[in-house]
Amino acid sequence: MTTVNDIVSRFEEFSPKWLAEKGDPIGLQLGDLNQEVHKMMVTLDVRPETVQEAISQDVDFIFAHHPAMFHPLYSFDLSVPQNKMYAKLIENHISVYAAHTNLDSAQGGMNDWLADKLGLQGSEPLLGPFEEKTYKLAVFVPVNNAAHLRQGLAAAGAGQLGNYSNCSFSVQGKGRFLPGKNSDPYIGKVDQPEVAAEEKVEVVFPAKYENQVLAAMYANHPYEKIVFDLYQIEDSGVKYGMGRVGDLVKPVKLKDFVAQCKEAFQIPALRVVSSELQQNIQRVAVLGGSGAKFYTDALAKNADVYVTGDVSYHTAHDMLASGLNVVDPGHHFEWVCQPELQNLFTKWSKENEWAVDVIATTINTDPFTFM
């Protein structure tokens, strides 16, 4: 049996909740984490038409980028279309989970998918970056118990370095101690000095695994009192941040780049802020959703052009005056997450032997029509 919790727990390893902006209503929105899942649907938006699609497809679980519930619900008046949609979800036992700004900041997440669509090379976070804390655990254990301890720590998430797992370092030495009157020593006798052959095992792990790694240490260590060191490693964690900035393989005219954006995001038209469409551009910043207020960050990263949605009139004037070219494909260009999320969950389903069918919505939820 595969539950909603099984699926989101794996996702949160990839895109942890702590990456989300303060106040962003991510996570379980409706339903039950313990609900069994046979079929899930990924979507950019949770709208009445996508809910109806989920019902017709016998979906148990909807995974969305945009939260279905951005604001607290104070009245459940079913004459309100949004409330009626919630009722439909509950009535059909469909759970809903949202990953918004945490997916925007995740490595290999939303903004990396957008950067890939634009063909950016050597991209890095536009905002920040900020760094996940990394810890090193050094624990002393009897030599004969070291292998068992290392296995337990690795199973808890320690020792992952890039594409390598089960990484650790060991050195052997002698541990000295005197068991006290009320002790129950694994090695030695009460009131008799003891010298034991011990191994110092060192592993690193991200801060999010601290509790489970320490729990694994206690569960897999034979000593009554464990001696260990735990400390943060400076400037060694994974770097996160919203948006991306990188370079095209070669300079292109802005006019041609605009055409590339239309093709990449499969849109018939978009808005451009520029005083010269024939100029050459190469360095590109991109931020999914409504990123207009961060245009000064694009300038600071020496971007020639900034791709983001929902640019307002007065902000566009400020962008123009600053000399920054801007391409606004609309908020909906984040739809690129749908096939990417489907691929991710399908991959994880095979790896974890989930009996879950993963589909993507076929409905275009862009509220705007270009005429």
The answer to whether 98 and 225 are in contact (CB under 8 A) is no
- The reply to whether 210 and 224 lie within a common domain is yes
Q: CA nearest 311: which of 301, 302, 322, 300?
A: 322
The answer to whether position 123 is within a domain reads no
Q: Give the model's pLDDT for residue 235.
A: 62
- The reply to whether 197 and 250 lie within a common domain is no
pLDDT, average across residues 214-218: 98
Q: What is the pLDDT of residues 136-189, one digit of tens each?
A: 999 999 999 999 999 999 999 999 887 899 999 999 999 999 999 999 999 999
Q: Give the model's pLDDT for residue 237.
A: 67
Q: Give the model's pLDDT for residue 131.
A: 78
The answer to whether position 191 is within a domain reads yes
Range of the domain at 197: 133-233
Above 70 in pLDDT, residue 111?
A: yes
The answer to whether position 257 is within a domain reads yes
- The reply to whether 291 and 305 lie within a common domain is yes
Percent of the chain exceeding pLDDT 70 equals 99
Above 90 in pLDDT, residue 72?
A: no
**Where among 233, 268, 283 does a domain terminate?**
233
**Where among 181, 209, 233 does a domain terminate?**
233
Q: Give the model's pLDDT for residue 130.
A: 80
- The reply to whether 178 and 256 lie within a common domain is no
Q: What is the pLDDT of residues 114-133, one digit of tens each?
A: 999 999 999 999 998 887 78
Average pLDDT, the chain: 96
- The reply to whether 229 and 259 lie within a common domain is no
**Where among 233, 261, 285 does a domain terminate?**
233
Q: What is the CATH number of the domain that holds 179?
A: 3.30.70.120
Is residue 347 classed exposed, middle or buried when 0-12, 13-18 and 19+ CB atoms within 10 A define those classes? exposed
- The reply to whether 138 and 95 lie within a common domain is no
Q: CA nearest 301: which of 129, 88, 110?
A: 129
- The reply to whether 199 and 254 lie within a common domain is no
The answer to whether position 256 is within a domain reads yes
Q: Give the model's pLDDT for residue 133.
A: 85
Above 90 in pLDDT, residue 71?
A: no
- The reply to whether 252 and 303 lie within a common domain is yes
The answer to whether position 370 is within a domain reads no
Above 90 in pLDDT, residue 35?
A: yes
For residue 257 the two structure tokens come to 């780049």
- The reply to whether 264 and 188 lie within a common domain is no
Q: Give the model's pLDDT for residue 161.
A: 86
Q: Give the model's pLDDT for residue 46.
A: 98
Q: What is the CATH number of the domain that holds 9?
A: 3.40.1390.30
Domain count along the chain? 3
- The reply to whether 224 and 142 lie within a common domain is yes
CA 169 to CA 200: how far, in whole Å?
A: 8
Strand-strand pairing, 169-177 and 194-206? antiparallel
Q: What is the pLDDT of residues 16-33, one digit of tens each?
A: 998 999 999 999 999 999
- The reply to whether 20 and 84 lie within a common domain is yes
Read off the pLDDT band of 239 (50, 70, 90). Answer: confident
- The reply to whether 26 and 93 lie within a common domain is yes
The answer to whether 219 and 206 are in contact (CB under 8 A) is no
